[in-house]
Amino acid sequence: MNDDNWYQDSADDEPSYREDPRYASDDRSLQPKTGMSTGVKVLIGCGVIGGVMALVCCGGFMYLGMQVANMATEDPVEVRNISDEIADIELPDEFVPKFGMQGEMFGVGGQMAAYEDGEKVLMLMQMKGPAGFDAEQMRQEFQRQLNQQGRNTDINIESTEQKEITLAGEETTIQIIKGTGEGGKEMRQVQGVFKGRDGAAFVMYISPEEDWDEELVIQLLETISTGNEPTDVDKGDTPEADTPSAPTPDAEVEETDAANADESPTE
């Protein structure tokens, strides 16, 4: 047996890297995490964080960096802590913390907390730019990314409605989207931007049409607070100064009688 045959036989005995299980990809990392609803998977993949970071850092690489850094968590306590750093919200007990993510790189920070009640999902997200970055520009980019991702999610949009509500003490326009999800299931999606505790923030709510109650959802969203709500003075409203009231006729008579009594001679 010559060297060439020996080499060929050895190569035949050795499985290729495609067949060798040692080189097989870990399918677990490619599969959706069990226990997560379609709504949560859509939210995670919406790309809002990537879009905002692309604005701030001139490249979406920051988003990939956050993922590689493994800054995600499913620990309920950690998810609640992340949520509290964004804003307070009075969630029903049925909503349980399911997923969170936070991290900061090169002065740009991102946080996300998702809660789930069956197929209903509520998510809070907050972005903080570097020192000197225009916060209003960040909020505008948030809104642009929300509008963009609305065309890219698994929800096929049938109609979009806008409503004025109060988020964190400020009048805000929210979008209420009606459409269909996987399998033609009718869904609703609500999204709005507000000022978080430490940056621009937004809230997103997803619900099957069968569980949709617009009044209750708006009431829920309006419980969002940060402790930094603008006061009347911040809004430009000045409190009215107290002005003395005009005396009544009876009071004038009493004052006159008292004055006459003081002026009467004493015996």
What average pLDDT is seen over the chain?
71
Percent of the chain with pLDDT over 90: 32
What is the per-residue pLDDT for 102?
Answer: 83
| pLDDT tens-digit readout, 60-111 | 444 544 544 457 888 999 999 999 999 999 999 999 999 888 877 666 778 8
Percent of the chain with pLDDT over 70: 49
What is the per-residue pLDDT for 240?
Answer: 56
pTM of the model: 0.65
Q: Is the pLDDT of residue 251 over 90?
A: no
Helix locations, the chain, DSSP H: 3-13, 27-30, 38-44, 48-57, 61-68, 76-86, 135-150, 214-221, 249-263
Specify the higher pLDDT residue, 178 or 34: 178
Contact 199, 138 (CB under 8 A): yes
* Measured distance CA(195)–CA(52) in Å, rounded: 15
Contact 115, 95 (CB under 8 A): yes
8-state DSSP, 22: G
* Measured distance CA(65)–CA(114) in Å, rounded: 21
Radius of gyration of the chain (CA): 30
Question: Which domains, ranges and CATH numbers included, belong to the chain?
Answer: 31-221 (3.40.1000)
Cα–chain-centroid distance for residue 166?
15
